[in-house]
Amino acid sequence: MPSKPIISVTKLNKYFYSPDKSLKIDAVKNVTVDLYQGEVVVVIGPSGAGKSTFLRCLNGLEDFDSGSIIIDDIPLNHHHKNRLEIRKEVGMVFQSFNLFPHMTVRENISLSVRRVRKKSTAECEKITASLLDKVGITDKIDSYPGQLSGGQQQRVAIARALAMNPKVMLFDEATSALDPEMISEVLDVMKNLAKDGMSMVVVTHEMGFAREAGSRILFMDNGEIVEDREVGGFFEDPLEDRSKAFLSKVL
């Protein structure tokens, strides 16, 4: 394993307050973790465990209250410039796809390449075509998202995130909003990405994916990382009681 982590999280804390401000809820509690190039880290745990919040902290979609996040040597803090730099290196795929409905697939994918990477139109076309090839929907390039199935939309969303050529990809329950028969087509794209050596942080309920494509498991409960293990060990022989209880329910 290379010595320098690509994402380094130290003592990360984030609280929410209940609506009447009487109750402080730890969404992310004292999380310290280092992620290395090429790792596929799968974050699992019961709902409300803070998995998504943790993930959203990693690219600054959520502010955190204390601790530090360093991504590719750039500290994520209140400097707007750092935040933009980090977001260029970190791609994100959402549960609800969040494609831009008024743009065609081509425009969805090329927007960031054109406006952020400032590539020429010819280069944008090339990148868009190769990414659509990668996710397997070249024939839908001029369709609007509303004309695509959920699985196709999510694959376009993955292509859109990849267009920035990120160093890390974050997946926030990318298959949870899909009809069952479409889950595998999206998981296949994610597995291929993992095979190609992309560093990934994946929040998911798909234990099959975690086993097959994951290299490391972070098991979270109540905002804390309960167990941080390589995949085989975690599924064969979980150490903590909470992990055991969780696995007995989902497997």
Partner 1 sequence: MKKHNYLLDGVILLVLILAGILGFLRIKNGFSYSWNWGAIPQFFFKLDESGHIKPNLLMLGFFTTIKLSFWSSFAAIIIGTFMGILRTRKNLFSRLTGRTYIEIARNTPPLVLIFIFYFFIGNNITTALGIDQWARNLSGAGKGVLSFLFSRPERFSEFLSALFTLAVYEGAYVAEIIRGGLESIEKGQFEASDALGISSIDKYRFVILPQVFRKILPSLTSQAISTIKDSSIVSIISIQELTFQGMELMASTYLVFEIWITITAMYFVLTISLSTLASFIENRMVKY
**Cα–Cα distance measured from residue 55 to residue 234, given in angstroms and rounded to the nearest whole number:** 21
- Joined together, the tokens standing for residue 42 give 């799968």
Question: With binding defined as CB under 8 A, does residue 45 bind partner 1?
Answer: no
CA angle (133, 139, 141) in 5-degree steps: 85
Among all chains, which residue has been given the structure tokens 């291929």?
Answer: 192
Question: With binding defined as CB under 8 A, does residue 87 bind partner 1?
Answer: yes
Q: Based on CB atoms, which residue is closest to partner 1, 73 or 236? A: 73
**CB of 168 vs partner 1, minimal distance in Å:** 12
Q: Based on CB atoms, which residue is closest to partner 1, 142 or 181? A: 142
CA angle (113, 116, 122) in 5-degree steps: 35
**Cα–Cα distance measured from residue 56 to residue 118, given in angstroms and rounded to the nearest whole number:** 26
C-alpha closest to that of 172 among 97, 222, 244: 97
Interacting residues with partner 1 between 60 and 79 (CB under 8 A): 60-61
x/- track of binding to partner 1 for residues 164-183 (CB under 8 A): x-------------------
- Joined together, the tokens standing for residue 112 give 């960031």
Among the listed residues 88, 134, 167, 191, the single contact to partner 1 using CB under 8 A = 88
**Which residue stretch of 5-13, 139-147, 211-219, 222-230 sits at the interface with partner 1 (rule: CB under 8 A)?**
139-147
Among the listed residues 115, 122, 179, 236, the single contact to partner 1 using CB under 8 A = 115
Helix (H) or strand (E) holding 134: helix 121-135
Q: Based on CB atoms, which residue is closest to partner 1, 35 or 157? A: 157
Is beta strand 40-44 parallel, antiparallel or unpaired with respect to 199-203?
parallel
C-alpha closest to that of 13 among 227, 230, 222: 222
Question: With binding defined as CB under 8 A, does residue 129 bind partner 1?
Answer: no
Among the listed residues 5, 45, 50, 145, the single contact to partner 1 using CB under 8 A = 145
* Interface contacts to partner 1, rule CB under 8 A: 59-61, 84-85, 87-88, 90-92, 94, 96-103, 111-112, 115-116, 144-147, 157, 160-161, 164
